[in-house]
Structure 1
Amino acid sequence: KEKLELTNKSYVDPVGRRGESDLVFKTNINGKEGYLYIICEHQSTEDPYMPLRFLEYNVQLLRQHLKENGNVLLPVILNMCIYNGKNPYKGSSSLLSMFSDPDLAKSCMLDSFHLVDLYSTSEDELLSYKKAAFAAMVLKQGIYRDFKQWFSDHI
């Protein structure tokens, strides 16, 4: 049974201004909880950065979802812009298309991040980092907040 439940979502942007969302419905998407985010502010001109705008809204919506529901898996958000201009919309609807290298942007930014796990990385491997070795070793030992013993053992 599919249903749309209108939510009363609002957000506070990074500079502290309160914003009201357009229309946000809670619904099921492929059988899983999700949101349908509709921008319907009579978008009559093309916004060349509409995909970026959706990303900003989505991050705010996801943060609010986590705040309300705790540490849970994130819901999918289906974004929809209702455009009512005098000419056909020719702007991009894809965030990835806005990057000079969409595949690289997807792999570096939108799919996963590169993790350097200092806890699990051996000191020998960190020493192979050449110019960054010293910084990596200091950061690895940083959890102890007292470097005297480590420095005397290793230098």
Structure 2
Amino acid sequence: MHHLHDHNYKNLFSHPQLLKELLISCVPEPWVTDLDFTRACRIDKSFITSSQKKLESDLIWQIPFLSGQEIYLYILIEFQSTVDHFMALRILRYTLELYSSLLKDKPAMKKLPAVFPILLYNGDERWTAPENLSDLIDERISLDFIPRFRYFKIAENEFERDKLLALRNLIGALFLVETTEREALVPLVKQIVDILKQEQPEIAKAFVSWLQSFFADPVPDWVTDVSQLTEVPTMLATTVQKWKEELLEQGKSEGIREGLREGIREGMRETARKLKKKGMSFTEIAEVTGLSIEEIKNL
């Protein structure tokens, strides 16, 4: 992944709504449903050293509970494909640095707030590093004197495709795109569009920017600035057209080509519906989309 993709990936999780989807979809802890995401506040701090910034990134959120207390979420995003066996030690160090920062800001503090550490891993290799710090320490002394610390792992490649589709949110779509072969995504384009239509415009825009950096090198012209969600279907249809050209050149099977054609036509149908609502004539819509006038009338 190049730097732009890393930046856009982190930017997605800078939105409280996507943070909410991540926790509700992936963290089966009872306290998650008691969080007030409307008052979530991102903390402008980072404890990643300059030498590690190309391999990882971090996000810190302060979120109050509905009951009034608060919790901090420390999210470490791991970009490198190799597995760090001592990840638990690294995340513990970052967590302790966060605590030190909080004490510096509030020296009169008598009790530290809870910090929930999350590892978000999007590499291809299976994550095998211990999640518990104690598993990295020799146990020849009493366990009472061995630090107890565990991070919560979210590894994208451990989710089954059906489960991701069943989420029906951008977290499912994000993980699906990153873990699925390009040609296998074609029949799922409409479902991704349907998900985008349910999201806030700024999140949809961030997701399309991420799609651009994920698939394209160099960056194409088809996504420059998405300010309204209604623009997304057309842009995704353009992406599918690009996929079609690439796959046909590679001599893929007729079944895949048929899936590509249907994905493109569905995108054009969605565009035609929106143009009809804007009052454009059937003839003009047919010229733009390539659909027949009869088909446009029946939409």
Structure 2 length-normalised TM: 0.31
* CA-CA distance at 1:9 after TM superposition: 1.2
Instruction: Please give the alpha-carbon distance, in whole angstroms, between the structure 1 residues aligned to 2:126 and 2:48.
Output: 33
* CA-CA distance at 1:27 after TM superposition: 1.6
Alignment of structure 1 residues 103-114 onto 2, 5 Å: 104-105=142-143, 107-110=144-147
Bigger share in helix? 2
Given the superposition, is the C-alpha separation of residues 104 and 67 from structure 1 closer, same or farther in structure 2, using an over 3 Å criterion?
Answer: same
Given the superposition, is the C-alpha separation of residues 85 and 41 from structure 1 closer, same or farther in structure 2, using an over 3 Å criterion?
Answer: closer
Match of 2:36 in 1: 2
Q: Does the aligned pair in 1 maintain the 2:46–2:59 contact within 8 Å?
A: no
Q: Does the aligned pair in 2 maintain the 1:96–1:102 contact within 8 Å?
A: no
Given the superposition, is the C-alpha separation of residues 67 and 28 from structure 1 closer, same or farther in structure 2, using an over 3 Å criterion?
Answer: same
Match of 1:87 in 2: 125
Instruction: Determine helix, strand or coil for the equivalent of 1:63.
Output: helix
Unaligned runs of 5+ in 2: 1-34, 149-299
* CA-CA distance at 1:25 after TM superposition: 0.4
Match of 1:97 in 2: 135
* CA-CA distance at 1:94 after TM superposition: 0.9
Q: CA RMSD in A?
A: 3.2
Question: Which among 96, 100, 111 is matched to residue 63 of structure 1?
Answer: 100
Unaligned runs of 5+ in 1: 112-155
Instruction: Please give the alpha-carbon distance, in whole angstroms, between the structure 2 residues aligned to 1:69 and 1:108.
Output: 29
1:48 matched to 2:85? The reply is yes
* CA-CA distance at 1:12 after TM superposition: 9.3
Match of 1:151 in 2: none
Q: Does the aligned pair in 2 maintain the 1:43–1:82 contact within 8 Å?
A: no
Instruction: Please give the alpha-carbon distance, in whole angstroms, between the structure 1 residues aligned to 2:85 and 2:66.
Output: 30
Q: Match of 2:127, as an amino acid? A: Y
Aligned length: 107
Bigger share in strand? 1
Structure 1 length-normalised TM: 0.57
Given the superposition, is the C-alpha separation of residues 57 and 42 from structure 1 closer, same or farther in structure 2, using an over 3 Å criterion?
Answer: same
> Which protein, 1 or 2, shows the higher relative CO under an 8 Å CA cutoff with sep ≥ 6?
1
Instruction: Please give the alpha-carbon distance, in whole angstroms, between the structure 2 residues aligned to 1:69 and 1:10.
Output: 18
Q: Match of 2:36, as an amino acid? A: E
Instruction: Determine helix, strand or coil for the equivalent of 2:79.
Output: strand
Q: Match of 1:100, as an amino acid? A: D
* CA-CA distance at 1:109 after TM superposition: 4.6
Q: Does the aligned pair in 1 maintain the 2:85–2:128 contact within 8 Å?
A: no
